[in-house]
Amino acid sequence: MLLRLRTYFILKLVTVLFFALTAGAGIARQSPETGAVQRPHIEVELVSETLSIQSGEPFRVGLRMLPEQGWHTYWINPGDSGLPIVMDWTLEAGTEVSQVDWPYPQRLPIGHLVNYGYEGEHLLPVTITPPAGLSSGEDFTIDLYADWLVCKVECIPGDAHLRLTLPVRDQVPPINPRTKSLFEWADRRLPEAAAWDSFFSTDGGQLSIQVEIDRDLPSQGWLFFPAEENIIDHAESSFITFDGGLIQISTPLSTYFTGAPDELPFVLVHPDTGTAFSLKASADSLISDLSISSAESSNPHLALLLLMALIGGVLLNLMPCVFPVLSIKALTLANHSDRNHRAHGLAYTAGVVLSFVILASILLALRAGGQALGWGFQLQSPWLVGALVYLFFIMGLGLSGLYTFGAQLMGVGERWSGQEGLKGSFFTGVLACIVASPCTAPFMGTALGIAVLLAWPVALLIFATLGLGLALPLLMISYWPAFSKRLPRPGPWMETFRQAMAFPLYLAAVWLLWVFARQTDANGVALLLCGLVALGFAIWVGRLKDRGQILSTMRHVSVALCLLFAFAALASAARLQPNAAEPASEWWEPWSVERLEQLNNDPEQAVLVNMTADWCVTCLVNERVALNTDAVRTALLEHDVVYLKGDWTRRDPAITQYLAEFRRNGVPLYVVYPRSGGPPQVLPQVLTPAIVVGALESL
């Protein structure tokens, strides 16, 4: 072993030495060659655009490469394999040389991979600025060491030390007729640097890019070339759509994708017209159709956002799910004979604002954790919804007069705090916030959407302002004597008012019951209603006057049993699952492996597959803004496309398997299958009607 190892080391030493010598020779380089130089499978030459140069005046030279038929060299991003050409200039002191103005490449499929590069004669131009103070008649020497890989299927590395000598003249340099067409070729293929806003995201296993363009461009036939290696699977075709002023690019990430750069330079090429743009996308959240239209004034000023949040908060007071709580609170204030209104108002405000901030923090934390949850998620738990039904019902019964609360109010806030006073006001604020949150969305959705797209401190500030807005009317009532004096004096009217206030609570309970019904099923609702009856019974029994020890014990046992039953009813109801997905409508069918196969075997049928889940916010948004629109429905009918919808709300192995076929492990996934039986095409994860209609038309 020792002997063998030693031999190995000697052998290795020899190889290293040998290699160092050859490499050294490579670095020391053969003496520079002028004119066209022949290397295996390629001819290379250093050429200039002009026949002479002027002192201090920029001029262009370029590396001309002519691979053999069927061979190619590589672009700045070589694609799935290969290496970009490396160019190393040696120039007189004081000379500046630009970066290579890379002409846009072509896609070169090699086996199951795709490379980006050039076939046929091509030129990689640079601009050289010689020092001023060169005198006419002098020779200016340019040395270039070029190192490349030229490939067909196999690859041959090559290098050359090239030299070009140009005379310095006083007059304007004449164009070199021999290289004119080559430089023109390079200019035609030089992408125009576009200053359009562009963002990219690498969420969901896809590279998604959005570009906001400011001119009319052809909507079909574009190619996408990222200038960074190792971002996408180059062999996958990119999905590119134009929608108004927005280009959307979507393409699967490389298996070997390890992390996104801050900036992603890329080139968009329209080969038919020879149009090409070079762009830089910055890593950022993408914008949905909706937020584009609402945020048209680009970035609204923070003050404006806060004002919107404040107004939205005030408007929330009118929401049916806030009003009951508010009415309770108003009643409390009306009930207070002391002049402690200000403190109560402040405590209430603190409760509201703090709750909004806490809820927003949870939301932001979940967002950071990648959870697909929406505002109002606290009501997604049937447990909480059921408990709120009970709570609102009991409160309603109290207001109706089934039982009395004593002198003060029966706000839930007080129940939580167990006392009147400031704590009670604080918890009323907390309650207002919790029940308000689902109502927040429809009216403040856009503002919230912008808020969660912002940095978290700003987002928190917006939520806090929203809470302040909600608390504002009560705060004003409590704070300004003018307001509080307008409150009616306590009196017998309060009994009537209190009883009237029960009805908003019953309505709130009904609304929550409806939510509960959506979360469970008819049995769940029936159980919960039985629970309500039991609670009502418990209250009624509890208030009966005792007539003896036995009856008293029975009464207490009954109350305990009823409470136990109500709890058990809620517990078992909350565990029920909703019935099978909503029945298929006229325009979509439930997805199944068999149905998809059957449709794919029919050459007349094109298919749109939508894999979705109730808890997937993106899915729901896409359905709302794109799939469920009239434009898409019409397109489905016109182009005779069958729309299959798979529901992954609960785990479904068949759907998991299907997702895996597209190398996904999550929804949404949108796939279209052409009529002809061609390969399926995956649509972007962010849909607009135009994307879907465009995809349907292409089938």
Partner 1 sequence: MKTFLFASIALALSFGAANPLLAVPEIGQPAPDFSVIDTKGQTHSLSDFAGQLVILEWTNHDCPFVVKHYSAGNMQDQQRLARDEHNAIWLTVISSRAGEQGHVTPEQADELTASRDAFPTAVLLDESGDMGRAYDARVTPHMYIIDGDGILSYMGGIDSNPSRHSEDIPDATQYVVKALDDLAAGREVAHAVTRPYGCTIKY
- Binding to partner 1 (CB under 8 A) within 134-173 occurs at 149, 151, 153-157
Give whole-number Cα distances, 641 to 116, 241, 340, 485, 636, in Å: 35, 20, 67, 66, 5
Q: Using the rule CB under 8 A, is 291 a contact of partner 1?
A: yes
- Touching partner 1, residues 539-598 (CB under 8 A): none
Q: Using the rule CB under 8 A, is 430 a contact of partner 1?
A: no
Q: Using the rule CB under 8 A, is 111 a contact of partner 1?
A: yes
Binding characters for partner 1, 60-99, by CB under 8 A (x = yes)? --------------------xx-x----------------
Joined tokens for residue 89: 């200039």
CB-based contact 60:48 (threshold 8 Å): yes
Q: Using the rule CB under 8 A, is 261 a contact of partner 1?
A: no
Joined tokens for residue 548: 């003896």
- Sign of the torsion angle spanned by Cα atoms 458, 460, 463, 465: negative
User: What's the min distance (Å) between Cβ of 558 and partner 1?
Assistant: 37
Q: Using the rule CB under 8 A, is 438 a contact of partner 1?
A: yes
Q: Which of 323, 375, 565, 591 binds partner 1 (CB under 8 A)?
A: 375
- Touching partner 1, residues 383-412 (CB under 8 A): none
CB-based contact 264:226 (threshold 8 Å): yes
**Which of 379, 471 has the CB closer to partner 1?**
379
Q: Using the rule CB under 8 A, is 688 a contact of partner 1?
A: no
User: What's the min distance (Å) between Cβ of 625 and partner 1?
Assistant: 7
Q: Using the rule CB under 8 A, is 258 a contact of partner 1?
A: yes
Q: Using the rule CB under 8 A, is 260 a contact of partner 1?
A: no
Q: Using the rule CB under 8 A, is 620 a contact of partner 1?
A: yes
- Touching partner 1, residues 498-537 (CB under 8 A): 515, 518-519
Q: Using the rule CB under 8 A, is 20 a contact of partner 1?
A: yes
**Which of 441, 539 has the CB closer to partner 1?**
441
| Distance, CA of 312 to CA of 301 (rounded, Å) | 17
Report CA Rg, the chain. Answer: 36
Residue 314 backbone dihedrals phi, psi, to 5 degrees: -65, -45
User: What's the min distance (Å) between Cβ of 285 and partner 1?
Assistant: 6
Q: How many residues bind partner 1 (CB under 8 A)?
A: 89
CB-based contact 81:115 (threshold 8 Å): yes
Q: Which of 211, 286, 559, 690 binds partner 1 (CB under 8 A)?
A: 286
**Which of 141, 285 has the CB closer to partner 1?**
285
- Touching partner 1, residues 623-642 (CB under 8 A): 624-625
- Touching partner 1, residues 313-352 (CB under 8 A): none
**Which of 154, 216 has the CB closer to partner 1?**
154
Joined tokens for residue 278: 């070079």
Q: Which of 50, 106, 288, 332 binds partner 1 (CB under 8 A)?
A: 288
- DSSP-derived secondary structure for 157-208: EEEEEEEEEEEB-SSPPPB-TTTHHHHHHHHHTSPEE---EEEEE-GGGEEE
CB under 8 Å to 677, separation ≥6 — which residues? 600, 603
Residue 606 backbone dihedrals phi, psi, to 5 degrees: -100, 150
Q: Which of 248, 251, 417, 622 binds partner 1 (CB under 8 A)?
A: 622
User: What's the min distance (Å) between Cβ of 4 and partner 1?
Assistant: 9
Q: Using the rule CB under 8 A, is 423 a contact of partner 1?
A: no
Q: Which of 44, 65, 87, 110 binds partner 1 (CB under 8 A)?
A: 110
CB under 8 Å to 271, separation ≥6 — which residues? 221, 223
CB-based contact 514:529 (threshold 8 Å): no
**Which of 534, 686 has the CB closer to partner 1?**
686
Q: Using the rule CB under 8 A, is 42 a contact of partner 1?
A: no
Q: Which of 251, 465, 520, 685 binds partner 1 (CB under 8 A)?
A: 685
Compute the CA torsion angle 33, 38, 42, 48 (nearest 10 deg): 40
User: What's the min distance (Å) between Cβ of 381 and partner 1?
Assistant: 12
User: What's the min distance (Å) between Cβ of 626 and partner 1?
Assistant: 11
Q: Using the rule CB under 8 A, is 237 a contact of partner 1?
A: no
Q: Using the rule CB under 8 A, is 361 a contact of partner 1?
A: no
User: What's the min distance (Å) between Cβ of 680 and partner 1?
Assistant: 17
Q: Using the rule CB under 8 A, is 257 a contact of partner 1?
A: yes
| Distance, CA of 122 to CA of 162 (rounded, Å) | 16
Q: Count Cβ atoms within 10 A of the Cβ of residue 683 and give its class: 0-12 exposed, 13-18 middle, 19 or more buried.
A: buried
User: What's the min distance (Å) between Cβ of 621 and partner 1?
Assistant: 4
Which of 698, 693, 687 lies closest to 634, judged by CA? 693
| Distance, CA of 118 to CA of 160 (rounded, Å) | 19
- Sign of the torsion angle spanned by Cα atoms 365, 205, 248, 604: negative
Q: Select the span of 60-68, 464-472, 593-601, 609-617 touching partner 1 (CB under 8 A).
A: 609-617
Q: Using the rule CB under 8 A, is 201 a contact of partner 1?
A: yes
| Distance, CA of 23 to CA of 562 (rounded, Å) | 90
CB-based contact 696:636 (threshold 8 Å): yes
| Distance, CA of 546 to CA of 552 (rounded, Å) | 5
Q: Which of 260, 452, 494, 541 binds partner 1 (CB under 8 A)?
A: 452
Residue 168 backbone dihedrals phi, psi, to 5 degrees: -90, 130
User: What's the min distance (Å) between Cβ of 61 and partner 1?
Assistant: 25
| Distance, CA of 254 to CA of 248 (rounded, Å) | 19
Q: Using the rule CB under 8 A, is 19 a contact of partner 1?
A: yes
Joined tokens for residue 619: 């899915």
- Touching partner 1, residues 453-472 (CB under 8 A): 453
**Which of 430, 447 has the CB closer to partner 1?**
447
Binding characters for partner 1, 651-680, by CB under 8 A (x = yes)? --------xx--xxxxxx------------
User: What's the min distance (Å) between Cβ of 529 and partner 1?
Assistant: 20
Joined tokens for residue 217: 């461009």
User: What's the min distance (Å) between Cβ of 291 and partner 1?
Assistant: 7
**Which of 143, 236 has the CB closer to partner 1?**
236
Q: Which of 436, 599, 621, 626 binds partner 1 (CB under 8 A)?
A: 621
**Which of 155, 632 has the CB closer to partner 1?**
155
Q: Using the rule CB under 8 A, is 126 a contact of partner 1?
A: no
Q: Using the rule CB under 8 A, is 308 a contact of partner 1?
A: no
Q: Which string of b and e fits 523-555 if b means at least 16 CB within 10 Å?
A: ebbebbeebbebbbbbbebeeeeeeeeeeeeeb
User: What's the min distance (Å) between Cβ of 156 and partner 1?
Assistant: 7
Helix (H), strand (E), coil (C) string for 61-127:
EEEEEEECCCCEEEEEEEECCCCCCEEEEECCCCCEECCCCCCCCEEEEECCEEEEEEECCEEEEEE
User: What's the min distance (Å) between Cβ of 195 and partner 1?
Assistant: 24
Q: Count Cβ atoms within 10 A of the Cβ of residue 232 and give its class: 0-12 exposed, 13-18 middle, 19 or more buried.
A: buried
Q: Select the span of 117-125, 474-482, 612-620, 631-639 touching partner 1 (CB under 8 A).
A: 612-620
Q: Which of 130, 449, 467, 469 binds partner 1 (CB under 8 A)?
A: 449
CB-based contact 430:355 (threshold 8 Å): yes
Q: Using the rule CB under 8 A, is 216 a contact of partner 1?
A: no
Residue 615 backbone dihedrals phi, psi, to 5 degrees: -90, 0
